[in-house]
Amino acid sequence: MATEMGAQHTGEKEESAPQHRPSLPPVLRGMVWGGIAFALLNFFVIAIQRPEYGALVSEVSVSVGMGGALIGWLLGIGGYETWLLPWFGRPAAWREPEGWQRYFSFSTDHKVIGIQYLITATGTFLVAGMVAMAMRYNLMTPSLNLFPTSVAYESAVSIHGTLMLFAVSVVAIVGGFGNYFVPLMIGAKDMVFPRLNGISYWLIPFGVLTILLSPLLGGFVTGWTGYEPLAARSPSGQIFYYIGVFTLGLSSLLTAVNVIATTVFLRAPGVTWGRLPMFVWAMLVTSLLNLYWVPSIGTTFILGLLDRLVPTDFFGQGGLPLAWQSLFWLFGHPEVYIIMLPAWGIWLEVLPVFARKTLFAQRWALIGFIVIMLMSNLVWAHHMFTDMGNAEMIPFMLFTELISIPTGFMYLVALGTMWRSRIRLTTPMILVLMSLFNFLIGGLSGVFLADGPVNLAVHDSYFVVAHFHYTIIGGMVFAWLAGMYYWLPKITGHAINEVWGKINAVAIFIGFNATFGQMFLAGMHGMNRRIALYPAYLAHQNLWISISAFVLGAAFASTMVNFGIAWVRGRQVGANPWDAKTLEWKTASPPPKENFEEIPVVTEGFYGYGNAGAEPEIFVPRVAVAADPPAPPTGVSG
């Protein structure tokens, strides 16, 4: 039994008076304040610069203006009352709205913040998906039939990739499910730093809108990697790439701090490290990776922006032109595990529930998490095989192959849990099985890419695109959808239509594999990625890829409609419709303000499914636990 924690607290959240709401809705006030700050700083810089031809904006003025816009935005949505006033010795004066309005306002409730992340990630996923549909429509023929220029197409590719990687894949599970369920699963009332948590979310809309506005300055053509020295020749929208992704990374960094501190300090009595749920372990390991590597990539973006504005020539001819690739991939490959570790955490929560069997080899899964976290730092250079000699390739080939071993632990745990079990093929379970299959294809194709000679043959081809999407969409997005189906009854108190859920899951699976499975063949036939014009002999295959992509897009849209219907008027369910054992299922659906009526005291592990006979209670209310057990009442024996 772990040492009993002190009284749960919410860190910065204290009662303060007087409290009020702003006269304008918080989002509108944030936009107004941000717009005013942008205009003032932009014109101030223009007045100093005095650009030729009477220009009203420049790259420097826009960059400075966007910094002011971010500050104005954060103050407007609630930072003024909750952050600025206390810094000057005045009481915090923010009153959070009730009902649906709380999701469009600054909040310190981890459950509201989790839903804000989920809705924003879903909206961004749909927007980036529509951009992908436009790309596939253009690629139905070997000529430009939608985008006016190749630069416009390349900008669409860049926006799609940047949003999908930095605003969906990195954010959806960690920001959404992590915020909502980590406190619930460890028996806490909230995150350690609730106000910091609220601010971390509102960085996301700003970063997403910044990237989406990049076409106003000509877009950017570097893809999601922002490669230098190509970025030096990119249109001025490149500065929005630097600012937008830096803002998204800052949000991930703040969330990491909160998840780590909450897991370390706010665990309920009895939630020992050995009993910590696997999803919480996944969030903790992911947050440690974010804490270590996000500052690295953030610094890289600052250097890239300075190269453009000053210029400092860090990555130009006077500096190290290839340094960007090393600095980027030092974060960029651990990012794959920042994306996939949370997905594996969902696997290991869903599988024992619907297999009705104790999680197999739980400690080996935990060892896999930790070894992956450590080894992910050693494989970045396999993205740069075209830039190194044969002798340098060998150690990175070795480390890349070796990291497949702890990754394989997840499969052994999953297969062991399902072996001779009583599987219930619910929608969450089906999606987890699909995620297992897709990620296996992504992992096997990754073995080929880890081999130097093969990598050189298929580098920058659609083979890489297929591998990447099987890993991220096939692995993470399918797991994210499984988590949505699994936890939506807890979040809303409503059940999702299982029939439509299964139909949508099958449609997504077929559309996904038809789309990206063909891309392996297209890549081996010579189809290069990030190009609008391609050889005519590839037209037939690209046509069928596009048709499959449209099926995939329709299936995703139908799934989101199913979620929306369930959220609004789905069938009411009880607190634990899946008969699961982790703590989030031991409170009401949706959970009350502070999660539990009494802080629980955990007495058993969370994965004891399939035990013979009556299963013991997992926890008892804290009020029932005392240092010296009271004597039994008179007349009561045993």
Q: pLDDT tens across 422-449, in order?
A: 899 999 999 999 999 999 999 999 999 9
Q: Minimum mean pLDDT among 329-338, 377-386, 468-477, 490-499: which range? A: 377-386
The pLDDT > 70 percentage for the chain reads 91
Q: 489 and 627 share a domain? A: no
pLDDT at 626 over 50: no
- Is residue 425 assigned to a domain? yes
Determine the average pLDDT of the residues in 502-523: 96
Let me know whether 313 and 420 are in one domain.
yes
Q: Is 98 contained in some domain? A: no
Which SS3 state, helix, strand or coil, does residue 570 take? coil
What is the predicted pLDDT for the residue at 349? Answer: 96
Query: Each residue of 255-280: pLDDT tens digit?
Result: 999 999 999 999 999 999 999 999 99
Q: 33, 65, 92: which is the final residue of a domain?
A: 92
End-to-end CA distance of the chain: 24
Whether residue 624 sits in one domain with residue 559: no
Question: Which of 548, 569, 590 is the endpoint of a domain?
Answer: 569
Residue 11's pLDDT is 42
588 belongs to a structural domain? no
Quick one: which of 210, 213, 192 has its CA closest to 250?
210
20 DSSP β-pair partners: 94
- Whether residue 416 is found in the same domain as residue 485: yes
Quick one: 114 and 68 in the same domain?
no
Q: Is pTM beyond 0.85 here?
A: yes
Listed range (41-55, 199-213, 484-498) with the worst mean pLDDT: 41-55
Q: Are residues 58 and 140 in the same domain?
A: no
How far is it, in rounded angstroms, from Cα 223 to Cα 76?
A: 32
138 and 257 inside one domain: yes
Q: Is the dihedral of CA 316, 318, 324, 325 positive or negative?
A: positive
Whether 241 contacts 161, CB under 8 Å: no
pLDDT of 21 reads 61
pLDDT at site 624: 42
Q: Stretch 482-504: mean pLDDT, rounded?
A: 94
Asked whether residue 227 is assigned to any structural domain, the reply reads yes
Between CA 450 and CA 461 the distance in angstroms is 15
- Going by pLDDT thresholds of 50, 70 and 90, the confidence category of residue 619 is low
Whether residues 115 and 87 fall in one domain: no
Is the pLDDT assigned to residue 457 strictly greater than 50? yes
Mean pLDDT value across the chain: 89
Predicted confidence band of residue 613 (pLDDT cuts 50, 70, 90) = very low
Average pLDDT over residues 240-255: 97
Residue range 281-314, pLDDT digits in tens = 999 999 999 999 999 999 999 999 999 999 888 9
357 and 483 belong to one structural domain: yes
Cα(609)–Cα(538) distance, rounded to whole angstroms?
Answer: 52
* Inside any domain, residue 5: no
Dihedral in degrees, nearest 10, Cα atoms 192, 196, 197, 203: -160
Task: State the pLDDT at residue 12.
Answer: 44
**Residues 189, 238: one domain?**
yes
Which positions ≥6 away from 335 have C-beta within 8 Å? 165, 170, 293
- The parent domain of residue 76 ranges over 24-92
Beta bridge partners of 495: 571
Comparison of pLDDT for 400 and 251, the residue scoring more: 251
pLDDT at 17: 46
Q: What is the pLDDT of residues 365-417, one digit of tens each?
A: 999 999 999 998 888 888 888 878 777 888 888 888 899 899 999 999 999 99
Cα dihedral across residues 123, 126, 129, 134: positive or negative: negative
Task: Give domain status of residue 511, yes or no.
Answer: yes
pLDDT of residue 577: 93
User: Do 104 and 120 form a contact (C-beta atoms < 8 A)?
Assistant: no
Indicate whether 243 belongs to any domain: yes
Residue 603 burial (CB count, 10 A): 15
pLDDT of 623 > 90? The answer is no
- 97 found inside a domain: no
Count of C-beta atoms within a 10 Å radius of residue 97 = 16
Both 507 and 468 in one domain: the answer is yes
Q: Which pLDDT belongs to residue 13?
A: 44
Residues 211 and 321 in one domain: yes
**DSSP letter, residue 94:** B
Number of domains in the chain: 3
pLDDT over 60 at 212, yes or no: yes
Q: How many other C-beta atoms can be found within 10 angstroms of the C-beta atom of residue 624?
A: 11
Identify the domain boundary among 545, 569, 593. 569
